[in-house]
Structure 1
Amino acid sequence: MTTPTPPAIARATDLSIVGANGGGWVAPAGSASPADPAVQPVSPWAAFGAISDDGLVNGVSEDSTDFTPWGLTAPVRTVITKSVRTFKATLWETANPIAMSLMYRIPASGFTADGQGITSYAETGSPEPDRRAFWFVVLDGSTMRGFYVPQGEVSDRNDITFKQDEMSGYELTITAYPDDAGSTVYHSDRLPVAGGSGDS
């Protein structure tokens, strides 16, 4: 009896990505996308600054409803009833006016020191909507991924810890809202060509 030859398992390590580096930028809602993750964003885009080594988490949250006919145990249709995209990162530059603006929902210009060197601001108990545009870049050598959110907002803020052996940071979750075209996130990537160098 002939022993069958197992199929070859194709693998290409250059088609994988590690979030080795990256950054985030913010601009007024609806600002044009930088479009290319290899190009430095310019005004009105402003950088978050350093992000913790936890990197960037692109969250996907979806709910669905199944429709199963009487007499069957498997659904014949599934409808997506909720589809939310989020981005989560911890900003380490807690004295950066851009990071502070996102954390406290105050324009960056509100963090200007007075003549005595004091920066004064107040947190409201009734925050207003604070929609902005966001641009995130993930880098791994020549592989680059760009995420453009034309309409987004900080929807969750975690505790700030002040501790001797821990870096303080603003852990923020940004929710992407649909724009006029109904899209929440636009992708602009520089990826290796499939079928190029790699393992097999």
Structure 2
Amino acid sequence: MTLTASEVRVAITGELFSAPQGSTMPADATTALDAAFIGHGYTDENGVAENWDDSVDNKVAWQNATIVRASRTESLATFRATLLQTRGSNLELFYPGSSVSTNATDEWKLEVVPAQADPRSFVINIVDGAIVTRIAIGNGEVTERGEVPHRNGDVTAYPITITCYPDDAGLLFTKYSTDAAWGIDIA
């Protein structure tokens, strides 16, 4: 294996988008997204983190108590982000099933209801200079929400976890990239 520093990627910038399920999903890394996708703006310095939680059932042989096989019993893909912008689309994403509207005095209100199912499509764009990587999640949902700080010296932020479910093709998500290094060593 060759040590090639130019193949090391840093997610310098990017953005998380969501749209109603069934919206047209992207088919590459750079084409403009369907108009149904809404950008969720700034995230905290941790960006967006891809996480895997796999459960494996080890099969142990009688002889020497040696593990001779393993079977995967669960595989969960999630993406975590903390949204920094307080705007209607972020509030509705963080409070699934709730909606932002105006009241009689033309102020805004958020009527928060118990969390409801809110499956959506998501896209995450990741940019490292001229290299663009796009993650397209056809069937996802916010399944975890963290603490929202309301205190002096802190940004009011909305930590979310998006769980990926299989789409109609059985895919959890698809990654696209303009990175030529993706093709190295691939026949």
Q: Does 1:42 align with 2:6?
A: no
Q: Secondary structure at the match of 2:45?
A: coil
Q: Which has the higher contact order (CA 8 A, sep 6+)?
A: 1
Letter in 2 for 1:104: Y
Name the TM-score, length of structure 1 as normaliser. Answer: 0.84
> 2:135 aligned with 1:147, yes or no?
yes
Q: Which residue in the other structure is 1:180 paired with?
A: 168
Aligned residues: 184
TM-score (norm 2): 0.89
Post-superposition CA distance 1:67-125 (Å, at most 9, x none): 1222143322211111000011111111x111111011146xx3232452322232223
* 1:94-133 matches, cutoff 5 A: 94=86, 96-106=87-97, 110-114=99-103, 116-125=105-114, 127-133=115-121
Asked if 1 retains the 8 angstrom alpha-carbon contact of 2:24 and 2:34, the reply is no
CA offsets, 1:26-69, max 9 Å, x none?
A: 01113222233323323111111111111010011100011122
User: Would the alpha carbon gap of residues 93 and 50 (structure 1) be closer, same or farther in structure 2, given more than 3 Å must change?
Assistant: same
1:20 to 2:12 alignment: yes
User: CA 1:119 to 1:194, structure 2 compared with 1: closer, same or farther past 3 Å?
Assistant: closer
Q: Distance in 1 between matches of 2:64 and 2:121?
A: 46
Aligned to 1:33: 25
Taking only the aligned residue pairs, the percentage that are identical comes to 24
Moved over 4 A (4+): none
Specify the SS of the correspondent of 2:46: coil
Unaligned runs of 5+ in 1: 1-8
Which structure has the larger Rg over C-alpha atoms?
Answer: 1
SS at match of 2:67: coil
* Residue 137 of structure 1: how far off its partner (Å): 1.1
2:158 matches 1:167: no
Q: Which whole-Å CA distance do the structure 2 matches of 1:181 and 1:118 have between them?
A: 43
Structure 2: stretches of 5+ with no match in the other structure = none
How big is each residue's C-alpha offset from its partner over 1:122-180, in whole Å with a ceiling of 9 and x where there is no partner? 2223x321101100111101222111111111011111112222211110000001122
Q: CA separation in 1, counterparts of 2:50 and 2:21?
A: 20
